[in-house]
Amino acid sequence: MLEVTNLKAYYGGIQALKGVNLSIKEGGIVTIIGANGAGKTTLLKSISGLIRSKEGRIVFQDQEITKFLPRQIVSLGIALAPEGRQVFASLSVEDNLNLGAYLYYRRKNRSKIRTLKEEVFELFPVLKERLSQLAGTLSGGEQQMLSIARAMMVRPKLLILDEPSMGLAPLFVLEIFKVLERLNQRGTTILLVEQNARAALRVAQYGYVLETGIVILEGQAHKLLVNEKIKKAYLGD
């Protein structure tokens, strides 16, 4: 579904990705783990088109999207829930969700938007209670949920999440992972970046380990979970 080949990305003179290869098959959950500063966010931003300064090849469903703009990429069905609660703070929860479905508004598909909202409320009932509250006044955890919900409003084929559990209480983290599994069962392919490597590897089928801009290890998630090196470096055993 998504093929990333030899991807390099730069911030000015600094090279943050040094030739990353990644392959995601339709229907699964894939996770990327790695230490702070490894380049995980950079990789996700490159795929979504937010980072323009890059080399290599990104192909989505047989179409090369390396040079596409974020809005072109999202319209192909790749949605990113970015790192750190990037909600539209001065707008209401409802407007945030509506803007998630911006492309459907452009296509005047109102009934689609209604069904999408119902689905989102089913997964995040809190949001329904807070529809008219300004997003900037939500609690951190609620903002995180809104940010994920907004990406779901795109009804993407591939949903990319950058540390969705960040700042959430343990119970909420479990909740989010359940939501992701449910979404996946309904047919959404998921690419997940997580600090909580154990939880991520449990829910995923396949995993990549990123270190200073390159993939140093990849494999089936259940095998990575018992890999000695990973246990030491990322699972705290």
Ligand X SMILES: Nc1ncnc2c1ncn2[C@@H]1O[C@H](COP(=O)(O)OP(=O)(O)OP(=O)(O)O)[C@@H](O)[C@H]1O
CA-to-CA distance for 8 and 5, rounded, in angstroms? Answer: 9
- Residue 86 touches which of Mg ion, ligand X, another protein, none (CB < 5 to 8 A by kind)? another protein
Binding letters toward ligand X, positions 69-108, x by CB under 6 A: --------------x-------------------------
If one asks whether residue 44 binds another protein (CB under 8 A), the answer comes out as no
* 225 HSE (CA, 13 A, CB side): 14
Site string for another protein, 72-101 (x = CB under 8 A): --xx---xx-x---xxxxxx---x--xxx-
- In angstroms, give the least distance from the CB of 195 to Mg ion: 9
Exactly one of 16, 160, 176, 221 binds ligand X (CB under 6 A); that residue is 16
Rounded CA gap, 51 and 167, in Å?
Answer: 25
Task: Give the count of residues interacting with ligand X (CB under 6 A).
Answer: 12
Is residue 98 close enough to count as binding Mg ion by CB under 5 A? no
Residues 136-165 within binding reach of ligand X (CB under 6 A): none
Q: Supply angle C-alpha 183, 189, 192, rounded to 5.
A: 90
What is the closest distance, in whole angstroms, from the C-beta atom of residue 16 to Mg ion in the complex?
Answer: 11
153: exposed, middle or buried (C-beta count within 10 Å: 0-12, 13-18, 19+)? buried
Nearest to 134 by CA among 146, 151, 122: 146
Tokens of 123: 């997964």
Cα–Cα dist 48/39, whole Å = 14
SS3 state at 56: strand
Number of residues interacting with another protein: please give it, by CB under 8 A. Answer: 30
Q: Which residues lie near another protein (CB under 8 A)?
A: 48-50, 69-71, 74-75, 79-80, 82, 86-91, 95, 98-100, 102-103, 105-106, 136, 150-151, 153-154
